[in-house]
């Protein structure tokens, strides 16, 4: 199998505030868009003919990936003008697919080795994985290695085996798409018509990004496999332990400690006397002032963090200006996204271009929208919509 169709048209309503300004496949983790990890995994296993189905804010995908040459692949783009479902997205590529092809979501992390194993399976096949919370996904029922049904987000799960959204198809799949919008419905149609669909279970890494805090767990998983690379300038008196990547033009100043796995991007100014703890990603052109500690967090590009801050289990989007003594403690919190409520252990989720003045504290699980402003010495204890002002 030499062709892959990546479905990257979606907005990601449950991933706000991060998807207000970008498609969910372009959310940056460990200093790369999620979509880049997928394309690199495909290239590693020799799949270089890639079709990207794009839609919401598609220009960002074009601008970043272009023809795919710098990633060792050849990318063809097709557009899903209305994001109506995964089957509707796939059918946009009907005229350019080969007889056999893979389909992958553009917002999942999957290891190259897992893809390599799956390419050995003849279509039609579904890649499935056992998870702790199957009610978030489509639950796959099987008999003797064959799919018997897929039930999307059931109220009760008879199994913890779920659909990863990764498929091996032939062109025959398009014959079963009439009057349905999502691929699991297409598969159920095929089963009703007597087709056999293999269920291929993987034990490899597969992580889905559904909610904003998933960015933090996905970041931690990616960082476990980084290779050390110390660019820039590491001043005398800096402690570096574990796997650490420091980008070109970055300065890590004296008295700072970095405990990997950690990625720090290009052109950053870190320290002095800063502590970066494990499972933290810091984007490009970030300034982090003295006596600040960050752990298990994702910090976007062009963020400026003042002195004496403590940030844990948090995700802070690009362009934020955070003055001194900001505190984002982590803890269990019931976080509401649309009509769903989830108990998660998380710090603050902050959108882009926020301005946080000195001595502000954010309670665990607070979601701060894009372009918000919070004056000094305030407690953020409720969600803030985009462009909120706390005075």
Write out pLDDT tens, residues 112-130.
888 888 888 899 999 999 9
Residues of the chain under the 70 pLDDT cut: none
Q: Which residues make up the CATH 3.90.550.10 domain(s) of the chain? A: 3-210
**The pLDDT value given to residue 361:** 97
Which is it for strands 361-362 and 327-328: parallel, antiparallel or unpaired?
Answer: parallel
Q: Which residues make up the CATH 2.160.10.10 domain(s) of the chain? A: 222-390
**The pLDDT value given to residue 268:** 98
pTM: predicted TM-score of the whole model, two decimal places: 0.90
* Class level of CATH domain 3-210: alpha beta
Reported as type and span, the H/E element at residue 29 is: strand 28-29
Q: Which CATH architecture has domain 222-390?
A: 3 Solenoid (2.160)
Distance, CA of 353 to chain centre: 20
**Model confidence pLDDT, tens digit, residues 273-323:** 999 999 999 999 999 999 999 999 999 999 999 999 999 999 999 999 999
The sheet with strand 251-252 has its strands ordered as 233-234, 251-252, 269-270, 287-288, 304-305, 321-322, 355-356, 373-374, 389-390
Distance, CA of 151 to chain centre: 24
Do residues 74 and 67 make contact, with C-beta atoms less than 8 angstroms apart?
Answer: yes
């Amino acid at each position: 199998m030499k062709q892959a169709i990546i479905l990257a048209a979606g907005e990601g309503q449950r991933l706000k505030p991060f998807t207000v300004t970008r498609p969910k496949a372009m959310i940056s983790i460990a200093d790369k868009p999620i979509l880049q990890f997928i394309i690199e995994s495909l290239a590693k296993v020799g799949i270089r003919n890639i079709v990207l189905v794009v839609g919401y804010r598609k220009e960002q995908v074009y601008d970043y990936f272009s023809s795919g040459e710098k990633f060792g692949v050849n990318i063809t783009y097709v557009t899903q003008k209305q994001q109506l479902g995964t089957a509707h997205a796939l059918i946009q590529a009907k005229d350019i697919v080969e007889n056999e092809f893979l389909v992958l979501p553009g917002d999942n992390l999957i290891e190259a080795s897992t893809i390599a194993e799956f390419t050995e399976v003849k279509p039609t096949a579904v890649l499935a994985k056992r998870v702790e919370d199957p009610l978030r996904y489509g639950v796959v029922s099987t008999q003797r290695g064959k799919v018997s049904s897929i039930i999307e987000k059931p109220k009760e799960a008879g199994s913890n085996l779920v659909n990863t959204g990764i498929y091996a198809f032939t062109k025959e799949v398009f014959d079963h798409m009439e009057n349905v919008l999502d691929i699991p419905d297409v598969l159920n149609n095929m089963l009703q018509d007597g087709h056999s669909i293999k269920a291929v279970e993987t034990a490899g890494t597969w992580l889905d990004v559904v909610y904003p805090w998933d960015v933090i767990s996905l970041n931690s998983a990616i960082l476990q496999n980084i290779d050390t690379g110390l660019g820039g300038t590491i001043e005398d008196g800096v402690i570096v332990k574990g796997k650490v990547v420091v980008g070109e033009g970055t300065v890590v100043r004296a008295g700072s400690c970095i405990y990997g796995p950690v990625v720090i991007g290009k052109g950053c100014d870190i320290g002095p006397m800063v502590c970066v703890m494990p499972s933290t990603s810091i984007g490009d052109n970030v300034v982090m002032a003295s006596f600040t500690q960050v752990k298990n967090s994702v910090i976007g590009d062009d963020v400026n963090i003042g002195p004496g801050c403590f940030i844990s289990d948090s995700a802070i989007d690009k362009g934020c200006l955070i003055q001194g003594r900001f505190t984002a403690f982590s803890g269990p919190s019931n976080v509401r996204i649309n009509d769903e409520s989830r108990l998660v252990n998380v710090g603050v989720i902050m959108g882009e271009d926020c301005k946080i003045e000195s001595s502000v504290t954010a309670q665990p699980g607070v979601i701060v929208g894009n372009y918000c402003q919070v004056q000094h010495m305030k407690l953020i204890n409720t969600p803030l919509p985009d462009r909120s002002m706390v005075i």
